[in-house]
Amino acid sequence: MQQDNRVTYTLSVVSHGQASLVRLLLSDLERLQPADSEVLLTLNVPEDESGLTSSGFPLRVIRNTRPKGFGANHNAAFAVSRGAYFVVINPDIRLPHLALDGLRQVVDLDGTGACAPLVFNSRGHLEDSTRRFPTVLRLLRRVVLRDRSPDYEWQGTSQAVDWVAGMFVMFRREAYAQARGFDDRRFFMYFEDVDICRRLKGLGWAVRVQPAVQVVHDAQRASARRLKHLWWHLTSAARYLTGL
């Protein structure tokens, strides 16, 4: 990254035929007008691009010749990014005022490598986007006993956690680079976020949540509806738990 080309934020967005959601996200960004920012939009599959490049927000489009996994797409975006803060964000996230600056204040704390907000669904319910590291026992408890109790209770200030879901995470550039990004060799989709948070913590970086920043996730849980995504989820879980 060239020092004189640096911007404050790079937002990495991957679209899987989700142009309508990307337009809403770009509208949020235009309204927020974060200074010195760029959006790297990866089109993982061909889609209608009308209305995207004319958004008025600094946007670069990466068009894949073949679909890539979650981690591979964001790693490719990081390789050409210029931001001091690398923000991984899904197209179906709606951004409130000061979301980026609120997370940056936490990432700037000594030893913090990544920070995420609290995530609510479109009905206003808090999602389980922050958890303790999974173990076989914890996964069995969730699946067999249907245990959905939260792993953390939120106070007014930021707090360190085990891992945060990759739907919206701000990384300190140095930390993401030191961790060498997501492990796109082991994980095509799912558990990349768990894995990178574990590796960041192993490198001495804290992963934090800022409860004062709250976003809306218009969740489309494909893993619950499509056999392909269910297979990816199961195989990623097995790879994470076995270390293969």
One pLDDT digit (tens) per residue for the chain, 244 residues: 444 578 999 999 999 988 889 988 988 888 776 668 899 999 999 888 877 766 666 789 999 999 999 999 999 999 999 999 999 999 999 988 778 999 999 999 999 999 999 999 989 999 989 988 887 777 767 666 666 677 777 887 899 999 999 999 999 999 999 999 999 999 888 889 999 999 999 999 999 999 999 999 986 655 445 776 676 677 787 777 887 5
Architecture in CATH for domain 3-242: Alpha-Beta Complex (3.90)
Domain ranges within the chain, ordered by starting residue? 3-242
Rounded Cα distance between 141 and 144, Å, is: 5
What integer pLDDT is reported at residue 82 of this predicted model? 94
- CA-based radius of gyration for the chain: 17
pLDDT at 2: 47
Count the neighbouring beta carbons within 10 Å of the beta carbon of residue 189: 20
Q: How far apart are CA 136 and CA 194, in angstroms?
A: 14
Tally DSSP H helices, then E strands, for the chain.
7, 11
Element (H, E) at 164: strand 163-164
pTM of the model: 0.88
In a 3-state reduction of DSSP, which class is residue 244? coil
pLDDT recorded at residue 146 = 67
> What does the pLDDT read at residue 147?
64
